[in-house]
Amino acid sequence: MDYTELFYPPRFAVGPGSIQAIADFIKEANLTCALIVTDAFLASSPVTAAVTEVLKKAGIPYYVFDRVIPNPDAATVDAAAALYAEKKCDHLIAVGGGSPIDVAKGASLVAANGGSIQHYIGLNRTVHQGAPVIAVNTTAGTGSEVTQAFVLTDREKHTKAVSIDHHCLVAFAVSDPYLMQDLPAEVTAATGMDALSHAVEAYCAVNHNPFTDGLALQSVSLVDRSFLTVLEEPRDLDGRTDMCWAAALAGYAFSNSGLGLIHSIGFQLENICPLPHGQAVGLFMPYVMDFHRQIIPERIADLGVACGFSDQSLAAKQVVGHFYGLVRAAKIPTLREVGFSAADIPALAAMAMTDPTLATNTVQPTVEEVEEIIESAYCDDLR
């Protein structure tokens, strides 16, 4: 059999004011008590206040779990699930970027399947659909609000585990650009680069299909149109709305096609040098694209055409240079600047070869080729 099954959230509200839609969703679904899952900073921010205002107006009681940490671990997920059970909640509202949404998705699996999230790390390990999750996005990048994946860090082993489970797809996602107007530039930059890298990897992935191709190309076009705008004008609502769409489309795309070598190296770099995920993938993106330009030149060229480079024969090289320019404009630090040592190149390459995201890369590179890519990034040497 050679068919493709698509996975994506059943409902998604995008655009200014979409936060208001969560009250309608909760009432239509006959839900009665929410657990808000967020971090300590966001818990006291206007973003969470906007969510609780909607809940109060609609008469929906809620509790708050505000102990999400960056790069969350299994203990955080289990703690959220324990509070959910103790307070007899019947749905979760994630408020945040990737970390709170990932924790809420994991806790929803524990709520419906019992035990600890440790039992469900891997590929489709649960039996029951998770408890309903509403994901209120505060950044435009991770795509966690639309994917069937969650990422947990094991701090003792210094590893990250990507789990995929269609039972953790959120019930309702919200991307409201009003909530993103005060994002720090560094977060806007890193999450925007994450969204772009998702679109690039989805388009180049071995499992790409017509659904993911269309989404990925449109996502690239939107990033090209509005990424620099929101860096320069953080309160530009049209630009923020474009980035909401770009992140969502890229999330839909990679959740259904897979990722690739940019994330294989990026995830593993995060285990060596703690840095924001968007920075880790952004700094490798042009170099991995340049490597792929030798293997799938037509598809890299398509990404260039999506950015307005009209000559297909030149577009592949042009888009690699163009994205390198976006990475620089985003002030993504270089490998040297994050404290990475050239002596660690062989180790990082070996770790990247074991990363599960490599399975869907367009080609299986040799470890020597991955070392060359990392070395090019280290030397800031784009051909």
Per CB under 5 A, contacts with Fe ion among 191-210 are 194
Q: Alpha carbon 51 to chain centroid distance?
A: 22
CA–CA separation, 205 and 261 (whole Å): 9
Per-residue x/- mask for Fe ion, residues 167 to 196, rule CB under 5 A?
---------------------------x--
CA–CA separation, 221 and 217 (whole Å): 6
Residue entry with tokens 């017509």: 210
Minimum gap (Å) between residue 208 Cβ and Fe ion:
17
Q: Alpha carbon 245 to chain centroid distance?
A: 13
Are 269 and 275 a contacting pair, CB within 8 Å?
Answer: yes
Residue (194 or 355) nearer to Fe ion, CB: 194
Here the tokens at position 109 are 């699996």
Residue (256 or 318) nearer to Fe ion, CB: 256
Four-CA torsion 93, 117, 128, 19, nearest 10 degrees: 10
**Minimal CB distance residue for Fe ion:** 194
Here the tokens at position 248 are 């969502």
The CA-atom distances, in angstroms, between 55 and each of 58, 60, 104, 124, 196 are 5, 5, 18, 32, 33
Residue 61, classified by CB atoms within 10 Å of its CB into exposed (0-12), middle (13-18) or buried (19+), is: exposed
Minimum gap (Å) between residue 278 Cβ and Fe ion:
7
Residue (9 or 97) nearer to Fe ion, CB: 97
CA–CA separation, 288 and 283 (whole Å): 10
CA–CA separation, 164 and 152 (whole Å): 11
Minimum gap (Å) between residue 145 Cβ and Fe ion:
13
Minimum gap (Å) between residue 179 Cβ and Fe ion:
20
How many CA atoms, within 13 angstroms, populate the side-chain half-sphere of residue 134?
27
Minimum gap (Å) between residue 197 Cβ and Fe ion:
6
Per-residue x/- mask for Fe ion, residues 23 to 62, rule CB under 5 A?
----------------------------------------
Residue (9 or 266) nearer to Fe ion, CB: 266
Regarding 102 and contact with Fe ion (CB under 5 A), the answer is no
Residue (39 or 194) nearer to Fe ion, CB: 194
Are 54 and 19 a contacting pair, CB within 8 Å?
Answer: yes
Give the total of residues touching Fe ion (CB under 5 A): 1
Q: Alpha carbon 367 to chain centroid distance?
A: 26
At 280, is the secondary structure helix, strand, or coil? helix
Q: How many CB atoms are located within 10 Å of the residue 181 CB?
A: 16
Minimum gap (Å) between residue 117 Cβ and Fe ion:
20
Residue (81 or 101) nearer to Fe ion, CB: 101
Per CB under 5 A, contacts with Fe ion among 282-321 are none
Minimum gap (Å) between residue 285 Cβ and Fe ion:
10
Minimum gap (Å) between residue 137 Cβ and Fe ion:
14
Residue (48 or 279) nearer to Fe ion, CB: 279
In this structure, the strands spanning 62-65 and 133-137 are unpaired
Minimum gap (Å) between residue 115 Cβ and Fe ion:
28
Residue (131 or 196) nearer to Fe ion, CB: 196
Here the tokens at position 174 are 């919200």
Residue (31 or 262) nearer to Fe ion, CB: 262
Contact footprint for Fe ion (CB under 5 A): 194
